[in-house]
């Protein structure tokens, strides 16, 4: 776990498993839903109801999703936005693998030739705008 500052408050970010992340991607897309709604979004073969239910309960315990009870049924919804989760994952990636260095990240992409010229130009414009903003 690590702490990410979001809207001037500290939120603890957890690292999700691939399966947990898949459920979160579905919930971000549908915004809220019951277990059956989540399962419907999976491609065939659909996972078992009990498996999805168990993972959802874990996400509730981690305070990543919340729910509203309708009798014995629960409608689930994300407690963290996709954008905030993405920011946390990017921060973790840069911190853990690139010594918290943006230049090392840029170097990786340029050396592996995974950036098109247009993407490099856009990155340069963004960095220049950030530099001007800090003045």
Res 8 pLDDT > 80:
no
pLDDT in tens, 48-66: 999 999 999 999 999 999 9
Q: How far is CA 93 from CA 11, 25, 30, in A?
A: 17, 19, 27
The pTM score is: 0.75
Domain extents in the chain = 2-78, 98-135
CATH match for 2-78 among 1.10.10.10, 3.40.50.720, 3.20.20.10, 3.40.50.410: 1.10.10.10
Predicted local confidence at residue 96, as pLDDT: 86
When pLDDT is cut at 50, 70 and 90, the band that residue 130 belongs to is: confident
């Amino acid at each position: 776990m690590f702490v990410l500052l979001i809207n001037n408050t500290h939120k603890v970010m957890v690292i999700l498993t691939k399966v947990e992340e898949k459920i979160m991607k579905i919930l971000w897309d549908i915004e809220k839903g019951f277990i059956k709604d989540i399962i419907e979004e999976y491609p065939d073969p659909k996972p078992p109801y009990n498996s999805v239910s168990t993972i959802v309960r874990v996400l509730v315990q981690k305070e990543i999703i919340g729910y509203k009870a309708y009798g014995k049924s629960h409608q689930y919804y994300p407690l963290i936005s996709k954008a905030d989760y993405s920011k946390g994952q990017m921060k973790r990636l840069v911190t853990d693998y690139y010594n918290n260095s943006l230049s090392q990240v840029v170097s990786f992409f340029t050396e592996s030739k995974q950036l098109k010229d247009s993407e490099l130009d856009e990155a340069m414009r963004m960095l220049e705008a950030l530099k001007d903003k800090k003045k």
